[in-house]
Amino acid sequence: MTGVTDPAIVAAEVASQISFLRNLKFQYLEQKAKVQYIKTIVSDDAPNINGDDNERLRLVNEQKKEVLAAAKSRLAEKHADIQHWRPSSSKVRFSLRYLRSLIFHLPDYNKAKALTHEASSLATKILDARLKLTRLRQAHPHPRLTIPAANAQLDSQVVEMQQLEDELQTVSDKVERVKEKVKQGSKEVERLRMQRADLDKLVKVGKDEVEDGRVLGLYDWFTATLALHRSLFSLESSHSVSENELHLTYSISSSSSEKKRQVAITLLFVPNTRRLADAQVEGLSTDVGDVVGAHVQANDVPGLLAAVLARARAEG
């Protein structure tokens, strides 16, 4: 429209812009009414509207209608006067100057038009957001999960996860201990299997060499007695160095700890007799010379072993 000087074109453009602004005003009022209606519907504390409010609004509308009728009447009179008094050439020149001033201020009009369009777009976005909020409230009725409740639930879940982590660590430690025990048990089973194989070989050789059938029964009794003794007194190994010297090794576990330690006892006998001559104890932190001396003097081998093992368990 810049540079246009034809009054007819300018008048048509101005009329179209006026019509656009009227439509924009009507849309704005319509959107505002919709927004207020949605607020009234979705609000938790809806306003109390009664018959008095409706009557008051009716009176206000009647006053506005009267004012509008009077304005229309005045506008009709002005239009009749304009038709009666046709414009002179000076008035035409004044109108042209006025239109030129409007054309000069056209950038401000374009800026206002852009701002109006932006306001309309923002109003549409606000309405869409409120509709989405309404749908969310309908999809998630009360009681809703608030931010403090969500934070409290998250804290409780963190504490629960920490407890579960501790329990998992405890279970893992137990599994490791069980695996270690199973490993030790497997070694013990393998050792016993090898020992049984050796014993089976000895039994087979004994059957071939010994004619008396009672020897096998005595051998089984001696083997069972020796195994029972090893189990009761934690005897790991026994070795006869010579006819009058016997080495015994015990694996002692204390009452306060599961860790085992080795206690070695060497028994010396008078040659060709069953009399105890001396005993040596290794693996104890205390001196047991008085215990050894008393039992050697009494020739009490079982009492000596029981006293030394009791002292070893008491030290743990």
Report yes or no: 248 and 238 within 8 Å, Cβ to Cβ: yes
Binned at pLDDT 50, 70 and 90, residue 105 comes out as: low
The alpha helices in the chain, defined as continuous H runs, are 7-42, 51-84, 89-104, 106-139, 147-209, 214-233, 289-298, 301-315
Greatest mean pLDDT among 150-159, 226-235, 255-264: 150-159
Q: pLDDT tens digits for 279-292?
A: 888 888 888 888 88
Instruction: Reply yes or no on whether the pLDDT at 150 is more than 80.
Output: yes
Three-point CA angle 202, 205, 211, nearest 5°: 120
Q: Decide: residue 279, CB within 10 A, 0-12 exposed, 13-18 middle, 19+ buried.
A: buried
Q: pLDDT tens digits for 116-137?
A: 888 888 888 999 998 998 888 8
Q: What mean pLDDT do residues 223-245 have?
A: 76
Q: pLDDT tens digits for 163-220?
A: 999 999 999 999 999 999 899 888 888 888 888 888 777 767 766 665 555 666 666 7
Binned at pLDDT 50, 70 and 90, residue 62 comes out as: very high
Bigger pLDDT: 243 vs 96: 243
**Per DSSP, what are the bridge partners of residue 247?**
239, 266
pLDDT score at 286: 81
* Two tokens, residue 201: 């070989």
Question: How far, in Å, CA of 313 to CA of 193, rounded?
Answer: 30
User: Where in the chain are the domains?
Assistant: 7-40+57-140, 164-233, 234-316
Greatest mean pLDDT among 139-153, 157-171, 264-278: 157-171
The answer, yes or no, to whether the previous bond of 143 is cis (omega within 30 of 0) is yes
Three-point CA angle 85, 89, 90, nearest 5°: 95
Question: How far, in Å, CA of 155 to CA of 167, rounded?
Answer: 19
Question: How far, in Å, CA of 279 to CA of 299, rounded?
Answer: 11
pLDDT score at 104: 59
pLDDT score at 89: 47
Task: Tell me the whole-structure pTM to 2 decimals.
Answer: 0.34
Instruction: Reply yes or no on whether the pLDDT at 91 is more than 70.
Output: no
